[in-house]
């Protein structure tokens, strides 16, 4: 009787222990990066964006010719596909670009493939993926949206 109980206990321990974590591959994370290639310092406001866990605005200050990050997310095969699946059919999200106190550009959803001639964070074709050296928290890639002088009216 004790032998049967011991075997059942060991079976449960094996299934709930470290063995399962070794079977499942670690999650891959990507960060959202915004590159400001303009000659102005800008403020990016992501309003109603699904990456905001608590519904608050995401505000990013980006100096001229600098790259800043936003939130990170899990992806499996394609980081840009995963990002756009997070966006979903959200047509209430908007992204604003401010120079100083002035609103100079506003993008709104819905998202889609609009070709390489339309620069918009809601345009799949405006994003690039870049592999990065994995970090301790499994960040292995970044997707980059570039803001240009044309976007801010220069």
* Structural domain contains residue 16: no
In this prediction, residue 116 carries a pLDDT of 94
Q: Which domain holds residue 67?
A: 26-147
- The mean pLDDT of 33-51, rounded to a whole number, is 92
Residues in CB range of 118: below 8 A, 6 or more apart: 125, 126
**Does residue 153 sit within a domain?**
no
Q: Categorize the per-residue pLDDT at 23 as very low, low, confident or very high, splitting at 50, 70 and 90.
A: low
| Count, residues in the chain | 154
Tell me whether residue 120 is in a domain.
yes
pTM: 0.78
- How many structural domains is the chain composed of? 1
**What percentage of the chain has pLDDT greater than the value 70?**
82
How does the average pLDDT of the chain come out, rounded? 82
């Amino acid at each position: 009787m004790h032998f049967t109980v011991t075997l059942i206990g060991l079976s449960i321990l094996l299934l709930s222990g470290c063995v399962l974590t070794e079977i499942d591959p670690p999650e891959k994370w990507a960060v959202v990066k915004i590159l400001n290639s303009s000659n102005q310092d800008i403020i990016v406001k992501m309003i109603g964006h699904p990456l905001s866990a608590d519904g608050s605005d995401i505000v990013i200050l980006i100096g001229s010719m600098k790259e800043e990050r936003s939130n990170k997310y899990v992806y499996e095969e394609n980081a840009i596909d995963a990002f756009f699946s997070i966006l979903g059919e959200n047509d209430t999200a908007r992204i604003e670009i401010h120079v100083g106190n002035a609103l100079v550009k506003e993008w709104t959803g819905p998202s889609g493939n609009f070709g390489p001639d339309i620069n918009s964070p809601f345009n799949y074709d405006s994003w690039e993926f870049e592999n990065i050296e994995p970090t301790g928290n499994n960040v292995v890639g970044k997707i980059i949206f570039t803001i240009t002088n044309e976007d801010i009216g220069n």
